[in-house]
């Protein structure tokens, strides 16, 4: 799938480095068949505006707590398993 980009002249080298191509006939930068467009968001028309309009919401329940660990919450590691159990959460089987 082709995605056209609005790349200012001063940023053309950065776009090219990331894999963008110049379409001389249409006079537009584009990327094609890119799975992750995150690197190109600043050049996709309307993408920044759309991302800014999505509110950031953090939902925390009554039983929310921090483990201080980077393990998955549903699979606590040996360093935080006691803290998870003492908070009333069931341990994984």
Per-residue model confidence (pLDDT) at position 21: 95
Domain residue spans in the chain? Answer: 2-45, 65-93
pLDDT at 17: 95
pLDDT digits (tens, 9 = 90+) for 36-76: 888 898 898 877 555 555 555 566 666 677 777 777 766 77
The pairing of strands 21-23 and 28-32 is antiparallel
Q: Nearest CA to 7 among 44, 36, 33, 38?
A: 44
What confidence score (pLDDT) does residue 27 get?
95
Work out the pLDDT band at 19, boundaries 50, 70, 90: very high
């Amino acid at each position: 799938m082709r995605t056209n980009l609005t790349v200012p002249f001063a940023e053309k080298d950065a776009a090219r480095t990331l894999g963008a191509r110049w379409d001389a006939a249409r006079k537009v930068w584009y990327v094609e068949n890119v799975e992750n467009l995150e690197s190109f968001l600043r050049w996709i028309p309307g993408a920044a505006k759309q991302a800014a309009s999505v509110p950031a919401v953090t939902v925390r329940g009554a039983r929310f707590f921090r483990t201080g660990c980077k393990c998955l919450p549903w699979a606590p590691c040996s360093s935080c398993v006691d803290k998870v159990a003492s908070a009333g959460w069931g341990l994984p089987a």
